[in-house]
Amino acid sequence: MLVAGAGALSASAACRSLLPAENAIAKGVRIGGVDAGSGSPREVAERQARALLDRRVTLVMGEEVALETSLAELGATVDEERLAARLSSVGREGDLFTRLADALSARRGDVSVPVFVTLPIEPLAAALERRKDEADTPPRGARLDFATGKPTPHVAGQYLDLYAAASAIERAAQNGETRVPVPTFEILPDASSEVVASIDVSRVITKYETRFGYLGGQANRAQNVARAAAGIDGVVLLPGEIKSFNAEVGARTKENGFTTAPEIFKGEMREGIGGGTCQVASTLHAAAYLGGFEITERINHSRPSGYIPMGLDATVVYPHVDLKLKNPYTFPVVVHAVAQKGILTVEMRGSGAPADVEWSSATIGVSPYKRKIEESAYLTEGHVVLKQKGIRGYQIKKTRVVKSDDGRARVEEKTDVYPPTFEILIVPPGLDPATLPPLPGEEAERQSSG
């Protein structure tokens, strides 16, 4: 009996030796699939947390590396208290047989304790800001192809999902992975192909026409007018929607179909890519303004334009100076723009009745222009060349009265300022400016002062 009892005690002692020692973790325990090593639960948790946070991770977008960093650099933290408590529980919970089973499983490498990683969104957003700006593409609604009467395909927007990326990084850290794809999500445009196909464009809500030269030296400018008109043709404005001219037409580059032509820059004419685009913006603005549309962003030219009355023009410079319109109607509206044989026509088409719009303008101020002199060694004495004609400056007060179906009227007043444009003369070196003909108004001043 004594021998049997001694054997039982020996077996019990052997079994208990499999259990974790005091203030130590069970042998063979793994953390995130990696052997945890030895030490107290607190020591192991601290050591593994440091190693995990120092681990390099690679964020990828498709096959391209978006960012290489560490979890610590991204501001991640590890719940060491929770990790230490979980390490301490292996082989210490339940009855003896349950604890022995856990301890044996740990020795076989079958027990892996999860790591609880938290990654704040702000540092990740800052680290991926540039890549997100480059990768994010807004949705593009379908247009109406007036030639076929059918909608063009819409394009879904693609965006980096920072919150999903943070969750993916947390999971990768727990699983010991170092390469993490950055998730994306799609947003469909409101003006889908199906929606555009159902729009009724049988009614012209508003229309405006301007003329442009298209032969000889005007051919390049005419090309730009036609290209910009094509950029807005078929654009859909749903009720309450705002559209940007620049966003629809795109950059004024040769790659985008534009060419060099005269344009206004700081009040002076010069050659630039896209000259003539402003005529399309002005014609669109005039149609929208006289059709009761809301003009949410618009700047007039720095000098009057020969193709449109003052107050109806709009200047655009990609990407900073824009024209934006808002559809105030309860029905969709589609822009129809055609440039053909020197006539640019912009219509806004839909199914409902347009508002009744009255507008007027008055000149409330006129400013004389000044002269700018440029010397040229190529000119002989007595020769003067007019490089640019001077244009008076104007202040135009315009009034728009928009009457709705219920009889209410909205009165809008705005003042457009057109600064005077320099007269530019090219003269021989050393020419006395006093010998030049006086500017308009200067002759009277000279006589009164004399």
DSSP-assigned states of every residue in 111-125: -EEPP-EE--HHHHH
Q: Which CA distances in Å does 311 have to 27, 206, 344, 359? A: 84, 17, 18, 10
SS3 261: strand
Q: Contact 278/263 with Cβ under 8 angstroms? A: yes
Question: What is the pLDDT tens value at each position of the chain, 450 positions in all?
Answer: 444 555 555 556 666 678 888 898 989 999 877 888 899 999 999 999 999 899 899 999 988 999 999 999 999 999 999 999 999 999 889 998 898 999 899 899 899 888 889 999 999 999 999 999 999 999 999 999 999 999 999 999 999 999 999 999 999 888 888 999 999 999 999 999 999 999 999 999 999 999 999 999 999 999 999 999 999 999 999 999 999 999 999 999 999 999 998 876 655 667 889 999 999 999 999 999 999 999 999 999 999 999 999 999 999 999 999 999 999 999 999 999 999 999 999 999 999 999 999 999 999 999 999 999 999 999 998 899 999 999 999 999 999 999 987 788 999 999 999 999 999 999 999 999 999 999 987 755 555 555
Distance of CA 422 to the CA centre of its chain: 37
Please classify residue 256 by burial: count the beta carbons closer than 10 Å to its beta carbon, then call 0-12 exposed, 13-18 middle and 19+ buried.
middle
**pTM for this entry:** 0.79
Cα 388 from Cα 378, distance rounded (Å): 18
| Burial call 1-30: b when 16+ CB within 10 Å, e when fewer | eeeeeeeeeeeeeeeeebbbeeebbbbbbe
Q: What are phi and psi of 19, to 5 degrees?
A: -75, 155
Please classify residue 437 by burial: count the beta carbons closer than 10 Å to its beta carbon, then call 0-12 exposed, 13-18 middle and 19+ buried.
exposed
Cβ contacts of 15 within 8 Å, gap of 6 or more = 96, 100
Q: Which CA distances in Å does 220 have to 86, 257, 319? A: 75, 11, 22
